[in-house]
Copies of this chain bind each other. A is one copy, B any other.
Amino acid sequence: MKRLIQNGTIVTASDTYKADLLIEGETIAQIGQQLAVQGVDEIIDASGCFVFPGGIDPHTHLDMPFGGTVTKDDFETGTIAAAYGGTTTIIDFCLTEKEKPLHTAIEAWHKKAAGKAAIDYGFHLMIGEINEAVLNELPAIVSTEGISSFKVFMAYKHVFQADDATLFETLTKAKELGALVMVHAENGDVIDYLTKQALKEGKTAPIYHALTRPVEAEGEATGRACQLASLAQSQLYVVHVTCQEAVQQIAEARKQGADIWGETCPQYLVLDESMLRKPGFEGAKYVWSPPLREKQHQDALWKALKTGALQTIGSDQCSFDFAGQKDLGVNDFTKIPNGGPIIEDRFSLLYSEGVAKGRIGLNEFVDLVSTRAAKLFGLYPKKGCIAVGADADIVLFDPQAERVLSARTHHLAVDYSAFEGMRVKGTPRTVLSRGKVIVRDQTYVGTPGEGAFLKRARYGELWTNDLVGQR
C-alpha cells in the first residue's frame, strides 16, 4: 500500500520546506519534489496545508477512577477525539494502589485500552510507595514491558501523595533503570491544611479550590523535586507547570545543568483563575489541579515556552460531566472531581494562540506538541518526526481555517467544553496513523482498536548517535 501526500509544506522541529511525501505501508518512504505517482494507491492533496508529525500527548487520564466516580471519556471516545484534534499518540497514567502488585494495575490499564484505542498509546506507571515487592517488579516493567516513566504525586494527601523518601528513592531507582520520573508538584500538606481551614470557615464554592492551592505551594514542591533530582543525579519531568514560581525553579535547575524538563497545558496558557468565580456552580467546569492561575502567569508560561524553560505541552485530559459528576462538589469544592476535557483541542489551541499570534515559531510548535515528547519518552524516531523510516503519523493542518470550539461539536463524551465559544485559527484536516487515514477532511474514518500499545525505550537510549554505531 502506497500513499502520496502532495503539495504540502512539511514542518519539523527544525525545518520547513515544500515537498511531497511518499508512504509505504506504515512508514515514511520518501520525501521529494514532485514525487512520481505511478504505483501509488492513494493520493492526498495537502495544498495550503502544513504537514506536521502527529501530535503526542504525554499526559492523559482516560477511563480513570477519581473520587468515587470515573472519567467520562474512555480510550475510545478519548482517542477518537484526540485523532480529530491532530494527536496520534498518547501516554496515559496507569494508577497503582499501595500494597497491590504493580502488574494488577498495568493489566487493568491494558484492558481499558485494548480494542478501543483509535491511536497508538503507552503508559506511565504511578509509584505510590517503594518496597521490596515494588523493587522486584520494576526492572522488567522498564526493560521488557516498555513502560519507562514513573509518576510520583507530591499532592493529594492521604490519597496519591508520596513522601520525599519515596520520591527520592524513585529518582535513584529510575536513574539505574533508565526511566524518567514525572512529578505532580504541589505541596500536599500545605494544601490539605488550607483546604480544611477553608471548609471550617464555610468556604465551599469552586473558587476556593484555587485559593487553597496557592502558587507558592507549586513553586515550593517544584523546587524540592528539582533539588532531589539534582542530588540523585537523575532525570525529572515536571507535569502541568502553571506559574512563574515553578518555571523559575525549573529554569534555575536547568541552568545548573540538571536533566530536568517541564510541561505545561493549554488550559494554563489560555484560561485563568477568574473562570472559577463564574456565577453559580459554573466555576466547577474549570477545576484543575494545580488550579488555573491569575492572568499574568500566562505570559510567564508563554515566555517559558519561547525561551526553553518549558519543553512540552500535555493536555492532562481528565473529563467529568458537569451534570452528574462535577456536581458531586456542589456543596463542597473538595468533592468536585478534578480535571477537564482538553485532549482534542490541545494541538489547535497551541497553534492558534501560539503560532498564529506570533508567540512561538512554527518549528518550536512541532517540538512542543510532538517531537520533544517523543524523544523524552522513548518513542523517537518512530514517532515525533517527519523523517524517512518513521511511522507515518501525520497531520495535514490547514492554517487558514477557523472554527469555534464547543461541546456541541467536539467528539468527546463529556457534556461541556472549557473553551466553549472560543474561536481558533487553524485546524487539522486529515490525520494519518501509521500510514492509514483515520481522519479524512475532519471526519473520523478509522476503527477503534486499531491503536497499538507502544513499548517505549529507556530514557535517553535513542537520542544518541549510535545509528551508525560509533558510541
Taking beta carbons and an 8 Å cutoff, which residues of A are in contact with B? 9-10, 12-19, 22, 29-33, 35, 48-50, 157, 163-165, 168-169, 172, 187, 189-190, 192-193, 214, 216-217, 219-220, 223-224, 227-228, 230-231, 251, 254-255, 257, 303, 306-309, 355-356, 361-363, 367, 371, 381, 385, 387-390, 399-400, 426, 463-465, 467-468, 470-471
Q: A309 to B252, alpha carbons, bound, how many Å?
A: 12
Contact yes or no, B231 A217, CB < 8 A: yes
Q: A18 to B29, alpha carbons, bound, how many Å?
A: 11
Task: Tell me which residues across on chain B come within 8 A of A10, comparing CB atoms.
Answer: 387-388
Contact residue among B14, B48, B193, B463 (Cβ-Cβ distance under 8 Å from A385)? B14
Q: A424 to B252, alpha carbons, bound, how many Å?
A: 33
Q: A217 to B387, alpha carbons, bound, how many Å?
A: 44
State how many angstroms separate the Cβ of A309 from the closest Cβ of chain B. 8
Known: A31-B30, A255-B251, A464-B362. A18 touches B388 (CB 8 A): yes
Contact yes or no, A14 B371, CB < 8 A: yes
Q: Which B-chain residue is minimally distant from A249 (CB atoms)?
A: B223
Contact yes or no, B381 A17, CB < 8 A: yes
Contact residue among B32, B257, B361 (Cβ-Cβ distance under 8 Å from A32)? B32
Q: A400 to B29, alpha carbons, bound, how many Å?
A: 28
Known: A220-B223, A362-B465, A468-B49. A30 touches B29 (CB 8 A): no
Contact yes or no, A31 B33, CB < 8 A: no
Contact yes or no, B224 A220, CB < 8 A: yes
Known: A12-B12, A257-B307, A467-B9. A193 touches B216 (CB 8 A): no
State how many angstroms separate the Cβ of A90 from the closest Cβ of chain B. 22
Q: A30 to B30, alpha carbons, bound, how many Å?
A: 7
Contact yes or no, A385 B465, CB < 8 A: no
State how many angstroms separate the Cβ of A296 from the closest Cβ of chain B. 14
Contact residue among B157, B189, B231 (Cβ-Cβ distance under 8 Å from A190)? B231
Contact yes or no, B217 A189, CB < 8 A: no
State how many angstroms separate the Cβ of A395 from the closest Cβ of chain B. 14
Known: A30-B32, A192-B165. A399 touches B470 (CB 8 A): yes
Contact yes or no, A255 B31, CB < 8 A: no
Task: Tell me which residues across on chain B come within 8 A of A255, comparing CB atoms.
Answer: 251, 307, 309
Q: A141 to B189, alpha carbons, bound, how many Å?
A: 26
Contact yes or no, A464 B193, CB < 8 A: no
A-B contact pairs, 27 of them (CB 8 A): A10-B387, A10-B388, A12-B14, A15-B387, A17-B389, A18-B389, A19-B387, A29-B32, A29-B33, A30-B30, A30-B32, A33-B388, A50-B468, A163-B189, A165-B189, A165-B190, A165-B192, A187-B224, A190-B231, A220-B223, A223-B223, A257-B303, A308-B308, A361-B463, A361-B465, A399-B465, A400-B470
Contact yes or no, B465 A355, CB < 8 A: yes
Contact residue among B13, B190, B192 (Cβ-Cβ distance under 8 Å from A228)? B190
State how many angstroms separate the Cβ of A229 from the closest Cβ of chain B. 10
Q: A133 to B22, alpha carbons, bound, how many Å?
A: 55
State how many angstroms separate the Cβ of A432 from the closest Cβ of chain B. 18
Q: A216 to B214, alpha carbons, bound, how many Å?
A: 25
Task: Tell me which residues across on chain B come within 8 A of A224, comparing CB atoms.
Answer: 187, 220, 223-224
State how many angstroms separate the Cβ of A421 from the closest Cβ of chain B. 23
Task: Tell me which residues across on chain B come within 8 A of A216, comparing CB atoms.
Answer: 227-228, 230-231
